[in-house]
Amino acid sequence: MKLIVNGRDEILDREMTILEFLQTKGIDPSVVVVEYNLDIADREKWGEITLKDSDKLEILQFVGGG
Amino acid sequence: MNDKLIIGGKEITNRFFTGTGKHPNNAIIPQIVEEAKIEVITVALRRVDLTSPQENILNYIPKDCILLPNTSGARNAEEAVRIAKLARACGCGNWVKIEVISDNKYLLPDNYETVKAAEILVKEGFVVLPYVSPDLMVAKALEDAGAAAVMPLGAPIGTNRGLQTKELIRILIDEIKLPIIVDAGIGRPSEAAEAMEMGAAAVLANTAVATARDPVAMAKAFSMAVEAGRKAYMAGLGPVRKEAEASSPLTGFLD
Amino acid sequence: MDFLTLLSPQAANYLEAMAQKAHRLTVQHFGRTVLLFTPMYLSNYCGNQCVYCSFSSNHRLVRKKLTLDEVEEEAKSIAATGLRHILILTGESQKHSPVSYIEDCVKVLKKYFDSISIEIYPLTTEDYTRLVKAGVDGLTIYQEVYNEETYDQLHPRGPKKNYRFRLDAPERGCRAKMRGVNIGALLGLEDYRKEAFFTGLHASYLQNKYMDTEISVSIPRIRPNIGGFTPKFSVPDRSLVQIILAFRLFMPRMGITLSTRERAELRNNLVRLGITKMSAGVSTEVGGHTIKNSTGTGQFEISDNRSVAEIKEMLLQMGYQPVFKDWHQLNGERAGEQLL
């Protein structure tokens, strides 16, 4: 199954939720925000949304800026 | 004297705002906030690097700071709106500094797209602080749109060239009822003080602090300069005489 | 400086210092120029009973309304003096001088004048827009008196009783894209310091909100009129000067209009204090620019009977430029076409 995450192809070898995906990537879910297929995904739903082939994910976080 | 700046219902005492970009390391940020008593601080939103996740900048910002996420990276109104909504979804408040830049040479804000973004974001319930080139008609449009402040640039971003747009900013201060927060280009505390003496409501400087040899000391110097400038403004500057009072009487006919 | 302070009795002790600064600001923003215009009275039919006005429906006055031919004759006579800016006036009468009549007159006048201003009863935004389309570019409307109680007493009957509709008329004019809007209070009807203060605030509000309209104020003092109304408050020359200076210092770029209500010598002296527009060659009678003998049916008595040529000469003597035309309206022509 192939996703597009932050503009890049990402191959998944099994089905998983957004939350599981973040965990496998070592990302602390509490510090990011996720856009799922161009809509902001509610934090509470991350454990319920199962990723499908060709889904688009944007995972963002605050960084330094002026 | 109670001289608080009120934006989006929040009372702000320190009228010097700073940012979290370009610092040598993040650990310096809490020191800056503490030493310079920073109350409003900017952050940006970026994609997480999946190969090597970065530190969370929020860990370095004390919880009582007002977080002002910018929409940097946006090239038009639509992108700015998208970034603002994502920033709000992070759960750190509803303030946003609209920053739309479609010019890579001078990095000047796109006023037209900024007004469009402000109109949308105000309706969506954001506390909107748009970063613009100082233009009176644009500032009026932002006022009409319901922006919480207007943030005109003193000089192009990151140039440390000071209050190059002084005359235009003075017009905004005279004509616009919203707080005018001078943002970008301010290179030294004396320039921040000058903006405040003119009646600016606050000053935001990031590069000047982050690129100083001692950012903590520089942030403190800026806070002091901004406070001094504000006090001078409130005290009412004495008149500057251009010429000696004139010659032949104009009201002699009344005698 | 604080506008209220400038109007205070205390500030009257500093008139010379105020005058020097007002003069400097006026020259800085306008140069040494004065725009000249004249009023043309179209009709004196009126349904109002303003106690200070000769046109009041209470008075037995010969009522007259110019036909379009007469308008043209008046226009020719005025244009012959060199004037290119005109202010047309009527009493308030839907029957005798409705908007359609004004519109017809404007069509005639456009042939002779570059700028046409109206000083008529207050209109809706739609009607102002209609007149702007017809070629009107300026609106003059005085609140007469800002004090609402006094206003009510001085306007016992007629449509003018509606204080609010009149108060908002200048703003409607701005919305209708009038190029210039001129407001004022009739000095003498109330405490002139308060009235001047409200006039200034009104002007400042309009200027800030409608930056594409040039805002001006007039400082008319009450003049003798049929009915013999005696103003409750006297406004001495010294006070008139203070008001003009306060306006200029408060709003350096605002137009200040001076009428022939004031005598010639005083008018000459006021020019340097901040006046930017003056009427010249004036008659306040309907048809007054063409009739041979005055019938005494003017709106009020004027004090400066000088001709346009005489006013022009006076300004030149003082080192001022008399301006007869300060803009040209392009009616759908390409910009600059007239210059080719």
CATH of the domain at A6: 3.10.20.30
Helical (H) or strand (E) element with C270: helix C264-271
> Across B241-245, C50-54, C229-233, C249-253, which has the greatest mean pLDDT?
C249-253
- Asked if the model's pLDDT at residue B245 lies above 70, the reply is no
Q: Kindly list the catalytic residues of B.
A: 97
pLDDT for position B77: 95
We find that the CATH architecture of domain B11-234 is Alpha-Beta Barrel (3.20)
Contact A11/B at CB under 8 A? no
Interface test with B, best of A11, A22, A43, A60 (most B CBs within 10 A): A60
The answer to whether residue A66 sits within a structural domain is no
- Chain A residues in contact with B158 by the CB 8 A cut-off are 66
Residues from chain A that touch B90, judged by Cβ atoms under 8 A, are 32-33, 61-62
> How far is CA C137 from its chain centroid?
14
If you average pLDDT over residues C265-287, what whole number do you get? 93
Q: Is C67 exposed, middle or buried (0-12, 13-18, 19+ CB in 10 A)?
A: exposed
Name the range with the highest mean pLDDT among A17-21, A52-56, B231-235, C183-187.
C183-187
- Number of H helices and number of E strands within chain C? 12, 9
Q: What is the pLDDT of residue C331?
A: 62
In B, residues 175-234, which contact C (CB 8 Å cutoff)? 175
Distance CA B148, CA B179 (A): 7
Predicted confidence at residue C52, as pLDDT, reads 85
CA distance C275 to chain B (A): 13
Whether this prediction's pTM lies above 0.90 is answered by no
Question: Does residue A56 belong to the interface with chain B, where contact is any CB pair within 8 Å?
Answer: no
C215 residue type, one letter: I
Across the interface, of B20, B23, B48, the residue whose CB is closest to A32 is B48
What DSSP character marks residue B241? P
What's the whole-number mean pLDDT along residues C263-284? 93
Encoding tokens for residue C111? Answer: 């042939």
- 3 state DSSP class of C59: coil
- Whether A40 is in a domain gets the answer yes
Chain mean pLDDT for chain B:
91
pLDDT at B242 over 60: no
State the best of A33, A40, A56 to mutate against chain B, taking most chain B CBs within 10 Å. Answer: A33
- Is there a contact between C114 and C328 (Cβ–Cβ < 8 Å)? yes
Supply the range of the domain harboring residue A20.
2-61
**Tokens found for residue B176:** 């616009």
Which whole number is the average pLDDT over C116-122? Answer: 96
Mean pLDDT over each residue of chain A, to the nearest integer:
89
Question: What is the pLDDT of chain C when averaged over all its residues?
Answer: 90
Chains that touch A (3 or more CB pairs under 8 A): B
In this prediction, residue C294 carries a pLDDT of: 62
Taking residues A13-34, report their average pLDDT.
89
Q: How confident is the model at residue C340 (pLDDT cuts 50, 70, 90)?
A: very low
**C16–B250 CB contact, under 8 Å:** yes
The pLDDT of residue B7: 94
Contact B86 A33 (CB under 8 A): yes
Identify which of A22, A32, A17 has the alpha carbon closest to the alpha carbon of residue B47. A32
CB atoms within 10 A of CB B124: 13
Counting every residue written for chain C, the total comes to 340
Cβ neighbours of A13 (radius 10 Å): 6
- Mean pLDDT for B137-163 is 93
C159 close to C93: Cβ distance less than 8 angstroms: no
Chain C: closest CA distance from residue B137 (Å): 9
pLDDT > 70: percent of chain A: 100
3-state secondary structure at position C230? coil
Q: Which of B41, B48, B14 is nearest to A65 (CA)?
A: B41
φ, ψ for residue A42, nearest 5 deg: -60, 135
Q: CA geometry: angle at A11 spanning A10 and A13, to 5°? A: 145
pLDDT single digits (tens) B212-231:
999 999 999 999 999 999 99
Measured CA to CA, the distance from residue C171 to residue C176 in angstroms comes to 9
The answer to whether the CB atoms of B246 and C20 lie below 8 A apart is yes
Band of residue C284 on the pLDDT scale cut at 50, 70, 90: confident
pLDDT at C1 over 60: no
The answer to whether the CB atoms of B89 and A40 lie below 8 A apart is yes
Q: Tell me, what's the pLDDT at B83?
A: 93
Higher per-residue pLDDT: C333 or C178: C178
Interface test with A, best of B23, B48, B153 (most A CBs within 10 A): B48
A5 contacts chain B (CB < 8 A): yes
Partner-chain residue, chosen from A27, A28, A62, that has the shortest CB–CB distance to B43: A62
Query: CB of C179 within 8 A of CB of C214?
Result: yes
Q: What is the pLDDT of residue C197?
A: 97
Alpha-carbon gap, residue B171 to B138, rounded angstroms: 12
How many independent structural domains does chain A possess?
1
Domain ranges of chain B: 11-234
CA distance C40 to C42: 6
**H-helix or E-strand spanning residue C165:** helix C163-167
Please list every residue in chain A whose beta carbon sits closer than 8 Å to the beta carbon of residue B44.
Answer: 62-66
Mean pLDDT of C148-166: 93
Q: Which range (B8-22, B118-132, C56-70, C242-256) has the least confidence?
A: C56-70
Tell me whether residue A22 is in a domain.
yes
Q: What is the mean pLDDT of residues C180-190?
A: 95
Does B70 contact A65 at a Cβ distance shorter than 8 Å?
yes
- Does B139 have pLDDT greater than 80? yes
Interface B-C: count of C-beta contacts within 8 A: 27
Per-range mean pLDDT, top range of B120-124, B247-251, C262-266: B120-124
Query: What b/e readout covers C295-326, taking b as 16+ CB neighbours within 10 angstroms?
Result: eebbbbebbbebebeebbebbeeeebebbbee
Which residue in chain B is spatially nearest to C237 when comparing CA positions? B254
Using the predicted structure, report yes or no on whether residue C38 has a pLDDT greater than 70.
Answer: yes
Residue with tokens 């009678």, as numbered in its chain: C285
pLDDT at B102 over 90: no
Q: HSE (CB half, 13 Å, CA atoms) of A24? A: 12
**Nearest-CA neighbor of A51 among A9, A12, A6, A8?**
A12
For residues C53 and C301, the answer to whether their CB atoms sit within 8 Å is no
Residue B126: pLDDT above 90? yes
Q: What is the pLDDT of residue B222?
A: 97
**Alpha-helical regions (H) of chain B:** 28-35, 77-89, 111-123, 136-145, 166-175, 189-198, 207-210, 215-235
Our answer on whether A and C touch (3+ beta-carbon pairs < 8 Å) is: no
